[in-house]
Amino acid sequence: MPIDIRKNTIIVISICVIMTIFLGVLIVGASSNKTTRILTEQTEEDIKFNDEKLNVYFFYGKGCPHCEELISFLNTLPSEYNDYYDLYTLEVWYNDKNNELMNNLVQTLDKTVEGIPCLIIGDQVFFGYSTRMDEKLKKAIKEEYKERKQFGVYKEYKN
């Protein structure tokens, strides 16, 4: 009888180890499809264009809690959104050139800066952040991506 108990225990432990490894692989595989966006200090010189993606401009202030909440929201988007846009994060409290760029891009869209975070998606501008904006932001990204007009606020500003 003791031999059967040891044998069954070894089988159960082996199954648990195999299941743990399998679940670990699934979790790592699922998370590797996700892009983690952070508030990097990019500048106008970093802006590139990709005909397959929309450029989204995120103007933020270093240490701004609402800006950090917005970047956290962008990180929760399904992986399909990674194919929709390239995100440019431009700090404006300590970088006068980025602040000037934000004002110029917003002015190009016939608006005035109302604060930060300031997120420009195509020809739409969003100021501030709360979770009530989540659906509007997702919708704006999808709509602007689908249209992929020749319009780009940065290109328009430069012309």
pLDDT band for 151, please (50, 70, 90 cuts). Answer: low
| Residue 37 within any structural domain of the chain | no
pLDDT tens per residue across span 1-22:
455 777 777 776 777 667 667 6
Identify whether residues 48 and 120 lie together within a single domain.
yes
Q: d(Cα 76, Cα 53) in Å, to the nearest integer?
A: 19
What global pTM score does this model have?
Answer: 0.75
Q: Mean pLDDT check: name the lowest of 22-26, 47-51, 103-107.
A: 22-26
| Residue 38 within any structural domain of the chain | no
pLDDT at site 63: 93
pLDDT at site 44: 85
Instruction: Answer whether 104's CB lies under 8 Å from 90's CB.
Output: no
Pairing of strands 85-91, 54-60: parallel
Mean pLDDT of 44-59: 89
Give yes or no for residue 70 having a pLDDT over 60.
Answer: yes
The overall longest dimension of the chain from CA atoms, in Å, is 86
Identify whether residues 27 and 60 lie together within a single domain.
no
Q: Mean pLDDT check: name the lowest of 17-26, 60-69, 76-85.
A: 17-26
Give yes or no for residue 150 having a pLDDT over 70.
Answer: no
Q: d(Cα 88, Cα 22) in Å, to the nearest integer?
A: 36
Identify whether residues 65 and 143 lie together within a single domain.
yes
Give yes or no for residue 57 having a pLDDT over 70.
Answer: yes
Provide the number of structural domains found in the chain: 2
Give residue 43's identity as a one-letter amino acid code.
Answer: T
Give me 33's structure tokens. Answer: 């499809």
Mean pLDDT of 121-146: 94
Identify whether residues 48 and 24 lie together within a single domain.
no
pLDDT at site 134: 96
DSSP 8-class letter at 129: -
| Cβ neighbours for 91, distance < 8 A, ≥ 6 positions apart | 39, 41, 59, 60, 61, 62, 98
Instruction: Answer whether 61's CB lies under 8 Å from 54's CB.
Output: no
Identify whether residues 87 and 149 lie together within a single domain.
yes
Q: d(Cα 154, Cα 159) in Å, to the nearest integer?
A: 9
